[in-house]
Structure 1
Amino acid sequence: MLINLTDVLSCDGKVVKKTVETELKSFDTDLGHFPLSEEEPLALTLTNLGKDKLLIEGSTKLKTVIPCDRCLTDVETLISLSISREVDMQQTAEGRIEDLDETDFIIGYNLDTEKLVYGELLVNWPMKTLCREDCRGICRKCGRNLNEGDCGCDTVELDPRMAVIAEIFKNSN
């Protein structure tokens, strides 16, 4: 959704509060496709700080399903976003690129809420997701989920530096 910022920028110190529904239905990255099952409306506060500077503050909560990093079981995950960005509206798009300013959510005098939420979601994505703290993962040999029970595979792994010596003993018998 695009929000026109001309009203906020019309006078210094002006504060506008909005609650908007975002139309982001999934989070797609190189990591995969993650549908968003629940999404709270985005509560935004837009503040004109003067000298064409705008403070964008907001919060929302999103729920998605992320596979467990150890056993690949789907884990329903709640992600809370707290947004606080200061934007210089006088700066050109080229100037923002030169300053490495990540404000692709500002298009002219419009705020693209989907791009804002997507960027914050990208930064706040969990580094590690586990189905439970003591998740045992999957067997390296057969792929069975070890949380459901042992698979019976031989899990003894020899030190690879000793593989040559082990081969000598195997051949001497």
Structure 2
Amino acid sequence: MDPVIAEFAQIGIVPEKPLVADIEIVEKVDSISIAGVLNGSVLLACTRCLGQALHNVAIDFSAEYVTEENFPSEAELEVTEEAFDLGLYDGTSIDLAEVVREQILLDIPERVLCRDDCGGICQKCGSDLNVESCGCEEVQADPRWSALKELKN
């Protein structure tokens, strides 16, 4: 099994079907530019019910790679958006699987839902509220948080 796919499986990212990458590599005098598009879909765990949630992947990306001798020193490196796309390579090869891996990880939203109205899991009995109503009493919020609830209303 591909190490990237194995790592994804460990953290709950399962490609629904093979992802398609269209990558252009341009060798320059002192660097290598990589630009591409990554398309496909992955299955993730819903943050409310832990069921499967489909996440469509459509990523445009670019990166610039330089050797260590061409990498700017800390004094020369200005923190800009372009600086985050600057990477090191050994002068002979770049692991494109690692580039794709990073792009997928950066694309995953913080909150993934299987559907907009996902009911989640009952805090008392653990029932999937999308499948069945459990009949448990609603959990009362800690009264110390009531001031925040008033702000929401």
Report the TM-score when normalising by structure 2.
0.69
Say which of 27, 34, 42 aligns to 1:64: 42
Paired residues, what number? Answer: 135
Secondary structure, counterpart of 2:102 in structure 1: helix
Hey, what does 2:148 align to over in structure 1?
Answer: none
Alignment of 1:12-161 (within 5 A): 24-28=4-8, 32-48=11-27, 50-87=28-65, 89-92=66-69, 95=71, 103=87, 106-157=89-140, 159-161=142-144
Hey, what does 1:7 align to over in structure 2?
Answer: none
The one-letter code matched in structure 2 to 1:124 is D
Question: How far apart, CA to CA, are the structure 2 residues paired with 1:32 and 1:40?
Answer: 17
The one-letter code matched in structure 2 to 1:55 is S
The one-letter code matched in structure 2 to 1:25 is I
Question: How far apart, CA to CA, are the structure 2 residues paired with 1:96 and 1:120?
Answer: 23
Deviations 1:106-162 (A, max 9, x none): 33221211111111112112211111111111111001111123211111515445x
Q: Relative to structure 1, is the Cα distance of residues 156 and 116 closer, same or farther in structure 2, using a 3 angstrom cutoff?
A: closer
Q: In the alignment, is the contact (CA less than 8 A) between 1:26 and 1:34 conserved in 2?
A: no
Report the TM-score when normalising by structure 1.
0.63
Hey, what does 1:15 align to over in structure 2?
Answer: none
- The Cα of 1:90 is off from its aligned counterpart by 4.6
- The Cα of 1:76 is off from its aligned counterpart by 2.7
Unmatched segments (≥5 aa) in structure 1:
1-21, 162-173
Seq. identity, %? 26
- The Cα of 1:52 is off from its aligned counterpart by 1.4
Deviations 1:53-105 (A, max 9, x none): 33210112243221111111112322222211123x25449x5795586625x
Q: Which structure would you say has the larger Rg?
A: 1
Unmatched segments (≥5 aa) in structure 2:
78-82, 145-153
Q: CA RMSD, aligned part only?
A: 3.1
Question: How far apart, CA to CA, are the structure 2 residues paired with 1:97 and 1:38?
Answer: 42
Deviates more, 1:137-146 or 1:72-81: 72-81
Secondary structure, counterpart of 1:39 in structure 2: coil
Question: How far apart, CA to CA, are the structure 1 residues paired with 2:90 and 2:67?
Answer: 12
